[in-house]
Amino acid sequence: MKLLRSKPRHPPFVGFADFYFLGSLNLVMPQTAPWYQDAIIYQVHARTFYDSNGDGVGDFRGLAQKLDYLQDLGITAIWLMPFFPSPLRDDGYDIADYRSVHRNYGTLEDFKSFLDAAHQRGIRVIIEMVLNHTSDQHPWFQESRSSRDNPKRDWYVWSETDTRYRGVRIIFLDTELSNWAWDPVSKEYYWHRFFSHQPDLNYDNPAVREEMWNVMKFWLDMGVDGFRLDAVPYLVEREGTSCENLPETHAVLKELRAKLDQQFPGKMLLAEANQWPADLRPYFGNGDEFHMAFHFPLMPRMFMGLKLEDRKPITEILQQTPAIPDGCQWCLFLRNHDELTLEMVTDMERDYMYDEYARDKNMRLNLGIRRRLAPLLDNDRRRIELMNGMLMSLPGTPIIYYGDEIGMGDNVNLGDRNGVRTPMQWDGGWNGGFSAADPESLYSPLMLNPVYGFQAVNVHSQKRFEHSLLSWMKRIIKVRKSAPVFGSGSIEFLYPANHRVLAYIRQLGNETVLIVNNLSSAAQAVELDLKRYKGNILIEMFGRNIFPRIGDLPYLLTLGSYQFYWFRLRRI
């Protein structure tokens, strides 16, 4: 705790310099939170970021060269999408070797150098671990299918009929008709929850559990800081169930966590479990399963609240979200590499989302919408800022999807989810500064249209302007990082009569922050009941200006279209 040096003489006119001193006024800081609780995560795929050798595909050497950019942006951790050898029929989520690097992205040495370079800058690295399934090209599956008495036969889930586990939902609805696929080699069916070229591993087999831990250990020994564990609800199958979130699956995950805690304390596990809050909660266990989990149900409701100009979808889902154990954390996101998933909404809500955000049917995929943030928000800077403002101030650790910090667009014509995975746009020159290759040999065409193309939207031009989206993103990240309350504080909603305004109080130790968001396209006035904080002044966190002291009357604020405020409360 820093000591108070002198008292400000004119509290209502506290100036810039005094603010720093106010910022440390009588703060009782709680114990330092674990790193992931205060992190700002940047999601990126090596192949999309920067191509260092001119072969048209991004690589680890390229990613390492762009670490300065990421450090300057202010992020503190990188989540890397799968970079292992793979036939790339699901962008690497179809792994053929868990202990190496796909040659397109470089070598294991390149990965290690990248990891060291990130660590030198204080940036942590979270890698992807696909536990549920492998590629059908993986040697384990090749062996398993080679004959029914092969020792690896039991590493996957085989059946003589395709009628077991009836009623289990199909996830990739647009491509798959069944969760069973016929193997002409060994003449049985194998189980797969995703594409049919991604056979599910059999977690009832202790050898599989052992080997997957050894794989994780391989990367932990190298120094990675954590894993995003892909598709975890589906590890174990049982007849007569949905084959999701089973106690046996939780037992497998707890076993991994126990090993992690024993051998690699301080490392982190993040769950990809696209489930309702009540089913998500068990993934934290009693603090003995995952450290973090994505809050899937919240994300579409932020888009819904914005379109409806009503806070209800957001407050409702957060009220339904059970508390999580100490040391655990939600991961919040607006967009990622997949379709904007609408699995965790009701049918009516899904229809609404499709009508409002994906009128063109080509934008829909499976149960979701394959678009990036800027196009979803009509490229409206105010809405992009508001959504990022909520992302950074609701309880959890925010994830920024690469390119969204500059407002990149998407290309629905590219098929599957490839339209949101186009090359990073660095400048207005050759291939947008992504690669020196011939444009025809890029792994994906760049965005070219006059609104979102690389000549209009790129890092180089946005770096030059203080008011670009990129500069604004840097600022909000900085402000967020200045207050641990965002990462670890409690949340309490205020319910002003004006339902177009979403207001909440975040609190940690002695620090209290008030956040007020106008979800509407029109200006709004709102009266907040802040009686409890009578006598406090409000300090707006971006401009560091003082707002009037809270008195006996409801606190009146006016907000412009899609405007939001973050205020620190101070009693001086």
Question: Which residues are annotated as catalytic?
Answer: 230, 272
Contact 66, 403 (CB under 8 A): no
Q: Is 93 in the site for ligand GLC (CB under 6 A)?
A: yes
Number of residues that bind ligand GLC (CB under 6 A): 9
CB 555 within 8 A of CB 520: no
Nearest by Cα to 200 from 93, 272, 274? 93
90 touches ligand GLC by CB under 6 A: yes
**Footprint of ligand GLC on 235-294 (CB under 6 A):** 272
Least separation in angstroms between residue 260's CB and ligand GLC is 21
Does residue 230 touch ligand GLC according to CB under 6 A?
Answer: yes
Tell me the Cα Rg of the chain.
Answer: 24
Is 303 a residue that touches ligand GLC (CB under 6 A)?
no
Q: Which is nearer to ligand GLC, 414 or 448 (CB)?
A: 414
- Of the candidate residues 130, 324, 373, 526, the single one contacting ligand GLC (CB under 6 A): 130
- 199 versus 389: smaller Cβ distance to ligand GLC: 199
Mapped onto helix, strand or coil, the DSSP state of residue 542 is coil
Using CB under 6 A as the binding rule, whether residue 457 contacts ligand GLC is answered as no
Residue (of 181, 67, 168) closest to 114 by Cα position: 67
Query: Closest approach of Cβ 231 to ligand GLC, in Å?
Result: 5
Minimum distance, C-beta of residue 528 to ligand GLC, in the bound complex (Å):
39
By beta carbon distance, the residue nearest ligand GLC is 93
CA distances from 80 to 40, 74, 222 (A): 14, 17, 15
Least distance (Å) between residue 194 CB and ligand GLC: 4
Sign of CA dihedral 539, 543, 544, 546: negative
Positions 170 through 199 that interact with ligand GLC (CB under 6 A): 194
Nearest to 33 by CA among 484, 478, 397, 480: 484
Task: State which residue, 124 or 192, has the beta carbon closest to ligand GLC.
Answer: 192
Query: What is the C-alpha separation between 256 and 131, in angstroms, rounded?
Result: 11
Give the DSSP per-residue string, 470-515. Answer: HHHHHHHHHHHHT-THHHH-EEEEE--S-TTEEEEEEEETTEEEEE
Q: How far is the CB of 303 from ligand GLC (least distance, A)?
A: 19
Strands 41-44 and 77-80: parallel
Task: Count Cα atoms within 13 angstroms, Cβ side, for 507.
Answer: 10
For residues 215, 220, 223, 225, the Cα torsion angle rounded to the nearest 10 degrees is 120
How many CA within 13 A on the CB side of residue 236? 16
Cβ–Cβ < 8 Å for 489, 533? no
For residue 550, what are its two tokens? 């809270």
Residue closer to ligand GLC by CB (options 418, 435) is 418
Q: How far is the CB of 124 from ligand GLC (least distance, A)?
A: 20
Binding mask 20-59 for ligand GLC (x = CB under 6 A): ----------------------------------------
Contact letters (x/-) for ligand GLC, 326-345, by CB under 6 A? -----------xx-------
**Does 555 contact ligand GLC by CB under 6 A?**
no
Closest approach of ligand GLC to the CB of residue 406, in Å:
23
Identify which of residues 63 and 232 has a Cβ nearer to ligand GLC in the complex.
232
The yes or no reply on residue 231 touching ligand GLC (CB under 6 A) is yes
Residue 37: what residue type? Q
| 201 vs 386, beta carbon nearer ligand GLC | 201
Residue with smaller CB distance to ligand GLC, 93 or 155: 93
DSSP letter string over 414-475? G-TTGGG-PPP---SSGGGGS-SS-GGGSSSPPP-STTTSTTTS-HHHHHT-TTSHHHHHHH
Q: What are phi and psi of 563, to 5 degrees?
A: -85, 155
Contact set with ligand GLC (CB under 6 A) = 90, 93, 130, 194, 230-231, 272, 337-338
